[in-house]
Amino acid sequence: MLPQDSVYGVWPKSGEVDIAESRGNSPETYNDGRDTVYSALHWGLSFNTDMFLQTNNQRYIRRTDYSQGFHTFGLEWSQNYLYTYVDNRLLQVLSVGFGGENMWARSGLSAEGYS
């Protein structure tokens, strides 16, 4: 999900939420193929400082792959947290809390040279 208006600047400054991403490759021949779903938050000052590595996770399905049936991919978002899930809220993929430090402090980036 991308914002309708890039209020804070071009990607990833205004953010992106990936509820579910999956590769179409066979899990027998390719690690993290159809048996894996990823969720991520993309944020940062530029393409080179995208902080998604701090806010991403994956969920594996066992003995099958996600292409073998229908699945519900969900998102719950409040001022305190954001989490994604597959099929029900108990099968969380990504959980990010917004309590405590803000995202700028979480990034560890320096504002020097950025506007």
Lowest-confidence range among 8-17, 35-44, 103-112?
A: 103-112
Which of 14-18, 27-31, 102-106, 111-115 is predicted least confidently? 111-115
CA distance 15 to 8: 9
In whole angstroms, give the CA distance from residue 36 to residue 56.
13
Residue range 4-22: average pLDDT?
94
Higher pLDDT: 22 or 100? It is 22
Q: What is the arithmetic mean of pLDDT over 38-64? A: 93
* CA-closest candidate to residue 85, choices 33, 17, 20: 20
The percentage of residues in the chain with a pLDDT greater than 90, rounded to a whole number, is 64
User: Percentage of the chain with pLDDT > 70?
Assistant: 96
Written as six digits, the tokens of 7 are 């209020």
- Judge whether residue 111 has pLDDT over 70: no
Bigger pLDDT: 51 vs 99 = 51
Report domain extents, the chain: 16-106
Tokens 């998102």 — which residue? 75
Instruction: Write the CB contacts of 99 (distance below 8 Å, at least 6 apart in sequence).
Output: 80, 81
Q: Considering Cα of 88, then 86, then 74, then 95, what sign does the dihedral take?
A: positive
What does the pLDDT read at residue 2? Answer: 95
